[in-house]
Amino acid sequence: MEKITVLTGAGISAESGIKTFRDADGLWEGHNVMEVASPEGWLKNPSLVLDFYNKRRKQLLAVTPNTAHKALVNLEHKYQVTIITQNVDDLHERAGSSHIIHLHGELLKARSTHNPQEIYEWKNDIKLGDVCTKKHQLRPHIVWFGEEVPMLDAAIEIVSQTDILIIIGTSMQVYPAASLLHYKKTNTPVYFIDPNPAITPKNNLFIYKEKASLGVPKVVAKLLE
List the catalytic residues. Answer: 104
Tell me the DSSP string of 130-154. -B-TTSPBEEEEE--TTS--TTHHH
3-state secondary structure of 112: strand
DSSP state of 202: B
* CA neighbor of 38 nearest in space, from 110, 154, 123, 140: 140
Pairing relationship of beta strands 3-8 and 27-28 according to DSSP bridges: unpaired
Distances (CA, A) of 210 to 39, 75, 207: 36, 20, 9
Q: List, in order, residues 6 or more apart from 66 with CB less than 8 Å away.
A: 12, 15, 16, 91, 212, 213
3-state helix, strand, coil in the chain (%, to 5): 35, 25, 45
Alpha-carbon gap, residue 41 to 178, rounded angstroms: 25
Residue 81 host element (H or E): strand 80-85
Alpha-carbon gap, residue 219 to 77, rounded angstroms: 15
